[in-house]
Amino acid sequence: MNELANKTMIVTGAAGGIGEAITIKCLEQGATVIACDLNNKQLKKLEKLKYRFYDNPLFVFPVDVSDHKDVKQFFSIISMKFSKIDGLVNNAGIYLGRDLLDYTPELMDKVINVNIKGSTYFSQLFGELLLHRKDKGSIVNISSVSGQEGSTDAVYGLTKAAIIGLTKSCALNFSPNIRVNAVTPGLVETNMLEDIPEWRINEYREKELLNERLQPEDVANTVAFLLSDAARNFTGSVFDINNGCYM
């Protein structure tokens, strides 16, 4: 399958569980990938993995999505290096697993800065670049079922609800050139689950209608579809990937 051949995709949080799966899926489908993450060590591991398995290019960049200067510098580098960029996946995110009463203002800022501002900075600069070039493109935002039904970590829940708002607003702002969609995964088997209390995981599992465990690749499949031209009619849409735990 070469659905993304000749396309160039930016993936944020590419060194994490879901980000790595999206990066690999894009490479498998023929895309060039610009992978960024805060974790440079993990990015280097991803780079090595790529050289063993895939022919098309992967570029890795250490970027803090919550740092506007860093993000601007990243876009000024890649806009010189790549004459065409087709897609952006806003995947970088953090989950602290705290009740609202345990949050300090500093921790609230941290989660809001990474989860909301990071995706907003990337969307703005990606939109500006493509609209200036009169190019077409696709943005996929990684929200969460927590943004739909709430989370025991209220700050995480509010940031993921905000991502749905960002998605619909950017779809309005950037039409007709750039399609903007979101996915709302349920529990996906990554390191992030380590911070969710066991009783909460069990509660989710009981609500799931399917006897499947969501893997990062399951999210990557839907994201790759939304990045591809096969999704040309979708914008402002939210795609639930949750085994039916929330409808």
The interface mask with ligand NAI, positions 134-163, x = CB under 6 A, is --------x-x-------------------
- Please report the beta strands in the chain, taking only residues with DSSP state E, as ranges in sequence order: 8-12, 32-37, 58-62, 87-90, 137-142, 178-185, 238-241
Out of 47, 64, 109, 135, point to the residue binding ligand NAI (CB under 6 A). Answer: 64
Binding of residue 65 to ligand NAI (CB under 6 A): yes
Whole-angstrom distance, CA of residue 237 vs CA of residue 171: 9
Q: Catalytic: which of 121, 156, 204, 246? A: 156
| Smallest distance from ligand NAI to CB 99, Å | 18
Out of 35, 166, 170, 188, point to the residue binding ligand NAI (CB under 6 A). Answer: 188
Binding of residue 92 to ligand NAI (CB under 6 A): yes
| Smallest distance from ligand NAI to CB 51, Å | 20
Compute CA distances 64 → 45, 74, 106, 121, whole Å: 18, 10, 17, 11
Instruction: Find where tokens 């609800």 sit.
Output: 161
Whole-angstrom distance, CA of residue 190 vs CA of residue 214: 10
Query: Which residue's CB is nearer to ligand NAI, number 14 or number 130?
Result: 14
| Residues with catalytic roles | 156
